[in-house]
Chains A and B, each alone.
Chain A
């Protein structure tokens, strides 16, 4: 019997598959299968009957869902947009310092990442100390505003937390992107007489488009990870301006309303898929 011999290429492929297997199994068990279950629950009711249109109809008739959708969209635009703007500006400033070998730039890079490692409970406590009725902000301003339970301050507090937590991470992403641009490009721009602003908008930003798109996608994911801070600060039923998608899904799951939670998840999945598809296409065109 002929012994099966694998070519070197096939051996590498096999080893690659073996190493991939745990991650792939994890993806299937913890992401793909629950996703398919969510799609199922969005299409069928608790009695097992097909009710796709009815489920989505009930969902869109829910005032709470519409508020959650509106707030989450706004949060994404405002929080995500501000985050990218600030982190880009800081990355540009830091990069120029790095190029001049200013030491503080290295410390700043590490410092900006610190909020990412601060436990959620600690950051929530910090926010409460700052913004509660007898908090630091009110003492400074001499006011008695209950920032944590008054609309629209609750929304802006969530935006603040989001930007503070994720800002450093995006600074690092953009710094890496700037560093990847060949120095000849900068030199050529200088030779052509381009100023700093002109270089930034006409040469540097187009070069880092893939990183911008990556940051945008990570920003969307970051918005949905803010649920912990929102829950600890405002509870299950916060002020209307702080009521997000995550609140809606969690509360429906708590009440065993699977189809509604699943429908919401499917909507988010569709939105996210469209965003990723658009980003990939735009990124390819930019290349």
Chain B
């Protein structure tokens, strides 16, 4: 009996080893591709990304024989869950176009081998010249020195306001959040008594501030000591003051009711809302304010790092999965170089291609008179953007040199750690900061 028991144990061990070896043999190497041109090119993207149809048309004009299948998602969580589940079993689309609303840590997933490295393809791409793009937008998609992500659109937090205002509300086109805050606090006392003035108050401004102050910029090596303590305190204190002092004095006024508004653009007050497009908003508001008798629209973007260094975040970006379609990279390249004025259509979002940005600005400067609707209750005729505004925008875009991918995990950690101080006032800043660093350290060291 003892001998039989021993034999059974040895047989069981052998079966396990054979099984493990069998599983190992079924794993594919990094460079194997099972897909051919005859297979459809499958793309996952958000429903709200209206540019993807244009990308597909452009791709099909060059590769008519390749079938493209687009699967859209109304909610980023839906897409995130499906992507993770499919990648877990080695399936999934060829291309995923993420938005800044994703809850996935895309860079970390890329680092763990979930997405294909694009370096070899980029080396062989004779038409690719990195100098044509905002360099930091390309670098944002690198991890461990390898390129995994290609930028499709970028977003910048901005403010548009009454430029004729004699209070010189915001002095420059590139300002810090502190300058904006100080000016807002100074002017709000004036505003609250004047029906024609108001601000669109609302949701948290944390996200753009964290990006532009580089609190959230973690190095490629994911070292926590890159956390800038001084900037972190500045950001948190700004938000605290904004919430406790400014919010109590503001009124929720819709911009349509007061033509002399300082309209704090939603992409600042509401974070990086995908529906907001810098150029489109500036073009619309310039005309809107013109109708109100305001000659000059003011625009400012944020910088916390130093003069002429403007921070931005990738609004949408593309990755290629492992064993993807052989033309997946070509599709992403076409998307990256999407020409805003093709088909008389102005694309949504800022391109990372510098030339395309200029084309985009020119498109708005030459756009024919257009009936434009800001909200269900507010619509008007819009004329071409002014030359002055075009010059201003060109100056601003020349200053972009810090583009990052929004990391939802770190933003979540920040909000959880600092909510007791900012919103509930139940914990001092130092304890919250220590908690934030502790949690951030856990995340980075996982």
Contact = CB atoms under 8 A, between A and B. Distances in A.
Interface stretch (B26-34, B250-258, B281-289, B294-302): B26-34
Interface in A198-240: 235-240
A139 interface: no
Interface string B1-37: 0000000000000001001100110011110000000
Nearest to A43: B20
Contacts, number: 100
Given A46-B113, A150-B435, 16 more contacts: A46-B112, A47-B30, A47-B113, A62-B445, A64-B445, A134-B426, A235-B416, A237-B412, A239-B435, A240-B439, A248-B446, A251-B443, A251-B446, A255-B105, A255-B112, A260-B446
A178 interface: no
Give the size category of B's interface with A: 35 or more
Interface string B258-278: 000000000000000000000
A235 B412 contact: yes
14 contacts: A48-B28, A62-B445, A64-B446, A133-B426, A134-B426, A144-B426, A149-B420, A150-B435, A235-B412, A236-B409, A237-B413, A240-B438, A255-B108, A257-B446
Interface residues of A, number: 37
B24 A48 contact: yes
Interface string B88-118: 1000000000000000110011001110000
Interface in A233-280: 235-240, 243, 248, 251-252, 254-258, 260
Contacts of B104: 254
Given A40-B20, A48-B27, A243-B442, A256 B427 contact: no
B417 interface: yes
Contacts of A243: 442
A47 B114 CA distance: 11
Contact of A236 (B16, B108, B412, B420): B412
Interface string B411-428: 011001100100010110
A63 B441 contact: yes
Contacts of A48: 24, 27-29
Interface of B: 16, 19-20, 23-24, 27-30, 84, 87-88, 104-105, 108-109, 112-114, 409, 412-413, 416-417, 420, 424, 426-427, 431, 435, 438-443, 445-446
A47 B29 contact: yes
Contacts of B29: 47-48
A243 B438 CA distance: 11
A151 B436 CA distance: 12
Nearest to B105: A255
B24 A149 contact: no
A257 to B, nearest CB: 5
A248 B442 CA distance: 9
A39 interface: yes
A186 interface: no
Contacts of A67: 442
Contact of B19 (A36, A63, A65, A236): A36
Contacts of A146: 420, 424, 426-427
A93 B425 CA distance: 46
10 closest A-B pairs by beta carbon, nearest first, are A46-B113, A63-B445, A133-B426, A48-B27, A64-B446, A64-B445, A256-B114, A255-B108, A237-B439, A257-B112
Interface string A26-44: 0000000000110110011
B446 A133 contact: no
Given A39-B20, A44-B24, A240-B439, A252 B446 contact: yes
Contact of A256 (B28, B87, B439, B446): B87
A260 B112 CA distance: 10
Contact of A149 (B30, B84, B435): B435
A107 B440 CA distance: 48
B420 A133 contact: yes
Contacts of B446: 62, 64-65, 248, 251-252, 255, 257, 260
B325 to A, nearest CB: 20
A237 B417 CA distance: 10
Contacts of B88: 256
Contact of A36 (B20, B424, B426): B20
Contact of A40 (B23, B84, B441): B23
Contacts of B443: 64, 237, 251
A239 B439 CA distance: 6
